[in-house]
Amino acid sequence: MKSGKILATAACVVGLGVALAPAASAQPDDPYGFHDYRDRTDYMVTPFDSGAWFGDKANRPMILSPHGRSQTIECRGDGHYVAISDCRQYDTAQVAHDLRFVPFFGRTVWVYF
Q: Mark 65-83 as b/e (b = at least 16 C-beta within 10 Å).
A: bebbbebebbbbbeeeeee
pLDDT tens for each residue of 34-91 = 889 999 999 999 999 999 999 999 999 999 999 999 999 999 998 888 889 999 999 9
For residue 47, the one-letter residue type is P
Residue 71, pLDDT score: 97
**Contact in structure between 76 and 98 (CB atoms under 8 Å):** no
The 3-state secondary structure of 51-78, one letter per residue: CCCCCCCCCCCEEECCCCCCCCEEEECC
pLDDT higher for 1 or 38?
A: 38
pTM score of the predicted model? 0.69
What's phi and psi for 87, nearest 5 deg? -90, 155
Residue 102, pLDDT score: 93
Residue 78, pLDDT score: 85
Q: For the chain, which residues make up each domain, given as ranges?
A: 29-112
